A and B are shown apart, each in its own frame.
Chain A
């Protein structure tokens, strides 16, 4: 079980292959999120600037992994999240879940990304060719999270 905060790109496939050798798992589910060139209100974004709280972010992500491990029988969980300036199309977050069976792996991966979006201390500045602005928190994510209650 581990969390990784970094500015550099990551290669989820090679990480999955490396971790696979450590476990006798029946399934892995990976989620990879990318920087889009639009959001709810704006189009033509060029980049994101993602700020986080070093230390607290790692604790928050480990806590989410712990919640998942308590809820499902998992072999391993890996979270990688980037910060700093991220260009459109680049990966921003990766999650890998290993389990004996697909159901646990699918559900735990879905759970982790829903919680990550509400509980981890990240702040996002959107950058277009005209301007840059901080994105205000939205309530939508809390709705995503509530379905796991």
Chain B
């Protein structure tokens, strides 16, 4: 497929076809891009997905509703809590199950902690893609504390299986709540330190400003969601616009890209939206800790969970954007069909368009700024 064409000097210039991935250090899992380049400038980069397909949707048809919750963890291992919540919301809507009020608060606390962890990984690995090694380790250090908290909340550090149909698996203990508050007090200054180290760095800004600009129209037509969409200046957040759980009662901002260093929708804007979302998440958890009511964490749900005939779509605002679970019930113990909609898959489609004419180093920055996550793409 290499093009051979004589240049002005009469020399023959050939385009090089390189396979970036599936074992490349910066493809965030097993992703592959077929890149055509003249050495530095890319003429085409075609994403090749499917290396991490685990048939999570098909598994849903073979296990019970309760039994499927642990599988949803694996849809996006960096944000397992959100997949739990989306599936449980769908199942609850189908069966009309009530969620206890304390259960809702526990869900939001756990989800926002998970969002912090996920965004920390995202901005950390993004810094590493650009070549800054130290911010990555600092981000992972903070994530480690969150993992410890998660372990106290639900016993697992990565695949939580915490949110169950009707509430949450375990109530959050009072001493864990104190620890969460302590962590948040510590986390605010850490974000500022992170900004001094990475976000305000001249080289970092130069590398990202004006690179891989997604216009508002492109963001909408390519169906970008989450921070990628907000980075282009569109204020759309499921938590605010299609409210679920207790989010309407909470006071939080939806950060959008402001083109502060380059043009609107560039890689830096997407990065900066994530940094500010972390601060907003911390704010949300503070409020939840203050408002946390007493009561049971989970409502009475029958062990044989049989929702009536019907279909339902539930969506949550995951760290990688709008995550939706479409569940069809045929009245039996098993879902008739489960379909998962994830943000990373949508983000992959725009890479082909954005990668024309940028450099190899910028492609890495682009993949990092879209925060694509291989297991979430393939499911």
A, B: real partners: no
